[in-house]
Every structure is written in C-alpha cells, then in structure tokens.
Chains A and B, each alone.
Chain A
Amino acid sequence: MPPFLELHDLDITYPPRKVIRELSLQMNCTGIGCLLGPSGCGKTTLLRAIAGFEPLRRGSIRLEGVKLSRPGWTLPPEQRQIGMMFQDLALFPHLTVTDNIAFSLRRWKTAERRARVSELLRLVGLEEYARRHPHQISGGQQQRVALARALAPRPRLLLLDEPFSSLDVALREDLAREVRTILLREGTGGLLVSHDQFEAFAFADEIGVLDEGRLRQWDSAYNLYHQPADRFVASFIGQGILLPGRIGENGRANTELGDIEGTPPGGCVAGDDVEILVRPDDVIHDDASPLKAEVAERAFRGAEFLYTLKLPSGARLLCLAPSHHNHPPGRRIGIRLDIDHVVMFRRNWSVRCVESPPVPAS
C-alpha cells in the first residue's frame, strides 16, 4: 500500500533562490501531519506546491500513489481534491456563510447539497449564523466557516496554512485539537503549517521540522523533543542548552557536570569534543548534591521556576524546579543531572552552536 502522501526529492525555486531543497517525506495513513519551522523556512511554499499552486523544479508529489506534480507538469489545483485553509481565511465576502460552504457543491443535487451544508454547519456549530455574511461574525466563527468550506467537497487531504495564527495562544491549541477531531471524524488527512510547536503538538501525529528549505527531521512530537536529529531541531523544539564535553577513554563524555553515558555521534573517538543536549527537565534541583551552580536568572512559571544557572566555567544551564524552591539570583544551589535520552552532537565550530537558551515560543 503506497503512503498517503509522498514527497520525493523536491526542489522548488523562486529564481534565483532555491526555496525547497532535496526534500523527501512520507506521511502515513492516519494522515495528520505538520510542517514546523521558523518563518521563511519554505514551509508555506511546500504546502502551496502540494495544493498545486507552485510548480516543481525537481522531484514528485504523490497522493495515495497518484502523481500530482512533477517538473513541467502540475495537476491544476481544482482537480486534486485537496482542500486548503488559508492564513487570511480568504472567505468570500460577497457570499453568506451558507453560500461560502456550499460554493464547492455547485454540481451536487440540491437535496444532497442542502444536507451536506447543514451537516457541516452542525459540525462547526454555526447553524444560527447560516445567513450572515463573513464580516458579520467573529474571527473564531470565520475560522470555522473556512474549515467547513474547505471540508465541504470531502477532500482527501486538507492543507492548513497557519489558519490559527491570528488567535491567542490558548484558543489556538484548543482549535487545533478541535480541527484534528473533526478531520478524524470526516476521515480526511490534514497537513498543518505552523511556527508554533505547541499548536503542532496538539494537532499532528507526525511533525516535520524545516529550516532553510530542508527537512531536518520527520518524526513524532515525542521523538523530536527527545531524539532531535541535529542541532537545529534540538534548539527549535523545546528549550535546552548544549553542554560541552569530551569523549573519554571509557567511551563516556566527560563534562563539567561529570561523566555522561550515551552513544557518541558516529565517527567520534576518544578525545573528540562533543556537545550534550540538556533540557531544563533533565536538571534536577537537589540540595544534597555536591554539584553546585549559581542562579543567574529566575523566571516564575506558576507551578515551577525556570532557573538559568551559571556553571563555574561560565557555561549556562536551564533547570526546572518546583515553585516552592525559591532561590534569588546569586545563590548557589545543588543540582544533579538525570538525562533519560542522551543526545550528543559532535562539536563543530563551523555550525552555529546553541550557547544561549532559545527564545521560548510565545
């Protein structure tokens, strides 16, 4: 059985710039995925290529085994049975909510069309607003209309181009989860584009991290966090720092915080410099520990404090501690490492190292 969505060795260019380079991915049959990346990484371009709005320079796109795009040939968007939810929603301002939803059903029989529209209105909870125009309903309601409109013709795959980015954070995750439920109920695949990892985690089974047109990793949220494939993924997903160390004779990494057991990156021999990914939850605050670090910064998070600690060498470390452990900056506190999944990268000065903690996604 072919994969649900298969992108093979894609290149997309906006001359003279290559926006997507050598990108391949396979999405499974559950078909709820997400492309995650910083702005300008090419994720929207990739989504538009899947929708049929961007031609390919190289490679191919297949949906359920059927080829949709190859260099020099692009199946028109209207023949792909791929729905799309746009960042600006692109509701038709001159049509009512009902007419917006029914727009793609022009060729259906009247009775079937009516049934489908009322089914969708019920699904998104907008039965009372059927006769309104888009400007007469709220932003959240407009999102729902856009969703219902995109789902109306029963597309095989729904592409979502940051449709929730205009909503506040709390509502964003709720709606992402709600859309996920609706897609599963409708049996439609979904591919979301987002720069917000929490939205991605709430929505998708599989997530691809993109940077500068390349797919860095295509994996579950859990694996992206705990087994990032490279420095970029490690820094983009979650928080953490890279702790410098050196491979010892025993195969362990010697660091300022002691020896750490783990699999060194391929080709590493004793004496090579490495970096170990340390997440805030890997650092346990323990007064009894002989390891001490100085509190440099403290951020109150409600249930916990996020401490930025300074090690004697000057390296920094993030530590998540329950909020009853309240220490002012400058105090030295005891810590110990408890890393479940040790991730090591070879230290390579040609690649920008993540010395400071990445900015948390807001």
Chain B
Amino acid sequence: MSLKRRSAQWPWHGLLVVILLGLAIGLWMATKQVNYEWRWERVPQYFAYHDEVAQTAPFTGRIVKVHPDGAYSQVEMIPDAGGSRAIITVETDTLRVADGAQVTEDQEIGVTRHWRVGPLTEGLWVTIWISFASGFIGLIIGLVTGLCRISKNPALRGLAVLYIELIRGTPLLVQIFIFYFFIGTVLNLDRTVAGIGALSLFVGAYTAEIIRAGIQSIPKGQTEAARSLGMSTAETMIHIVLPQAFKRVLPPLAGQFISLIKDSSLVSVIAITDLTKSGREIITSSFATFEIWFTVALLYLLITSVLSQLLFWLERRFARSD
C-alpha cells in the first residue's frame, strides 16, 4: 500500500522541482536582461565589520621603545616638554614608528581594529524588540478590550467596539502617521514610543477579537458549573475560562504576532531605523539594491519562521495536556 502510494507521488515531487528550477532560471534570465551586476560580497560588511581606529601621539616627543607582543605592540614614549611617559597600544602590522623616532602631537602611530555591529544587524534588533514590545503591550490591551467587549456594561462594551472598529477600519500606515504627528506632537512623544504605541493599538484591536472569540468558544456549561460550585464571575473567568480559552487562541494569536513583525516594517516611515529603514539607508550608499532587499526579506523570513516554530512547539505541548 505504502509502496503504491509512493510510486504515485514521486512524479509530482519531480514536477515541483522542475517548477522551482524554472522559476530560478527565470529570475536569473530577468536579471541578465536588466544587466544587473550582482555584488553579494558587499552584503556581509553590513552585518558586522572590522573598524580601524587610528592611534595618535598624545604629545610631541620621542619613542623610547617599541615592545612587540604578538599581534599588538606597546609603544612607549616620553614628551619633549618633560613629564610622565605614555604607552600606546597598536596592531603590530600597522606600526608606523621605530625605536628612537621623533613624533609630533597627533601623528599617527598605528591603528587598532574592532568588530563593529553593522546597520543590518542593528535594524534587525530594532525590528525584533519593537515587535516584541508592541506584541506584549498589544496582548494586554487585547485581553482587557476582549473582556470589555463581552462585558454586560454597555459603556465598556461600546468603548471596546468603537476602538476595535476604528483600528480595524483604517490602514496601519495612516494610524502610524496620526499617532506620530498628532498624538506624538500633543504628548511630546519620542518617535520610538510613538511607533510602539501605534503598533500596540493596532495589534491590540485584532487580539481583542481573537480573545473574545476564544472566550466565547468555551461552552457556557463550564461557566455555569463553576458558578454552581461557588465561584464568582471573576474567579470563574480566571480559573476556568481563560486557561481553556488561551489554549484555543494560541494558533490565531501566533498568526497575529507573525503579521505584527511584518507590519512593523511600516514604522520606518517615521524614521525609526528598523530592518527596512536600515536596508533603504544601505542601498543609498552601496547601490546593491537587489542584494539588500533580498537579504532584508530573508531576515524577516528568519524571524517569523523561528517564531512560528516556537509557537508550534508550544501549541503541541499544550495540546498534550488536554
């Protein structure tokens, strides 16, 4: 049986490979057409690079002795005007002076090299932390709004509905502009705070609806059973409904947070240097447009797929205890 099935399946796998190959060749042909010169070697430096810092003489004086110490050398010098000696450390292969040489103030003696984080890595980090911060705040907003949405109090319910409809009915880009230019100006907010605020409100509205649906998916009998066992409405919600609802809303919540990471690219319009904005900035200096955008896309894909694997694992763990 399984053998039969496998033999029926493999032509389709073959077709899949052919289609993917065709797409790859098409892409290659297309770039040939526009005569694009690929410079992938320029990309890695934007993740991290070796920065050289020039070490200069602090005063006019004389080199007493150079002490070579492997890759580094200690250069010992005394000022002409008299006073205490100074020791400067430089990379041995960049040493520009010898024992007994006379140097003037600010003359370069050599350099030291350090690994520095490039703009792509910085942008990636900004994207991750902005997404997580807004996801967390959004979850809290969503939980509160979701509970208000099913409250018996008309004022709470009305506010929740208004908020959800306002947010879901307008584009995120417009919300970010309003939040930054209007609310941000009125309250004198930092651009990062404004960005996180806009994203939190956005994701909160969607989370509220997910949580409302989750709570309402728990059979009424569960609430009634808890009530008849002496629990108040609030205790019932905390001990019976929410733990069960959480398990059910985990998959849609995961989807919402993955979209949030992608949507966070829109905060680049208010000059927050996230992954997208870093990419745009790098392109202006490197002209490696295709390479950088592909890299940026790949980085987004990396975060979202790691997150979705993590949530998938969490979901299975919860399902096991059910």
Q: Interface-forming stretch among B1-9, B124-132, B218-226?
A: B218-226
Q: How far is the CA of A91 from the CA of B239 in the complex (A)?
A: 13
B232 in the interface, Cβ–Cβ < 8 Å? Answer: yes
B231 in the interface, Cβ–Cβ < 8 Å? Answer: yes
* A-B CB proximity, top 8 nearest: A90-B221, A104-B229, A90-B225, A84-B228, A77-B227, A78-B230, A104-B230, A86-B221
Q: Is the CB of A78 within 8 A of B225?
A: no
Q: Interface-forming stretch among B89-97, B179-187, B240-248, B280-288?
A: B240-248
- Name B's interface SS: helix
Q: A residues engaging B (CB < 8 A)?
A: 51-53, 76-84, 86, 88, 90-94, 103-104, 133, 135, 149-150, 152-153, 159
Question: Which residues of B lie under 8 Å from residue A79 when comparing CB positions?
Answer: 230
**A to B CB contacts below 8 Å, 25 in the list:** A76-B227, A78-B228, A78-B229, A78-B232, A79-B230, A81-B230, A83-B229, A84-B224, A86-B225, A88-B221, A90-B225, A92-B226, A93-B244, A94-B247, A94-B322, A103-B231, A104-B229, A104-B230, A104-B231, A149-B229, A150-B229, A152-B229, A153-B229, A153-B230, A159-B228
Chain B contributes a number of interface residues (CB within 8 A of A) equal to 19
Question: Which residues of B lie under 8 Å from residue A90 when comparing CB positions?
Answer: 219, 221-222, 224-225
Contact partner, A82, options B228, B240, B321, B322, Cβ 8 Å: B228
CB of A151, distance to nearest CB on chain B (Å): 10
Q: How far is the CA of A88 from the CA of B223 in the complex (A)?
A: 13
Contact partner, A135, options B221, B222, B244, B322, Cβ 8 Å: B322
In the complex, besides A90-B219, A93-B322, A104-B231, 5 extra interface pairs with C-beta distance below 8 angstroms are A52-B227, A88-B221, A92-B226, A94-B243, A135-B322
B225's closest neighbor in chain A, by CB? A90
Question: Which residues of B lie under 8 Å from residue A51 when comparing CB positions?
Answer: 224, 228
Candidate in B221, B225, B232 with the most chain A CB atoms within 10 angstroms: B225
Question: Which residues of A lie under 8 Å from residue B247 when comparing CB positions?
Answer: 94
Q: Is the CB of A78 within 8 A of B244?
A: no
Q: How far is the CA of A69 from the CA of B222 in the complex (A)?
A: 23
Q: How far is the CA of A21 from the CA of B219 in the complex (A)?
A: 29
Q: How far is the CA of A314 from the CA of B239 in the complex (A)?
A: 65
Question: Which residues of B lie under 8 Å from residue A53 when comparing CB positions?
Answer: 224, 227
CB of A20, distance to nearest CB on chain B (Å): 19
Q: How far is the CA of A135 from the CA of B244 in the complex (A)?
A: 14
Question: Which residues of B lie under 8 Å from residue A81 when comparing CB positions?
Answer: 230
Question: Which residues of B lie under 8 Å from residue A135 when comparing CB positions?
Answer: 322
Q: Is the CB of A78 within 8 A of B219?
A: no
Q: How far is the CA of A135 from the CA of B319 in the complex (A)?
A: 12
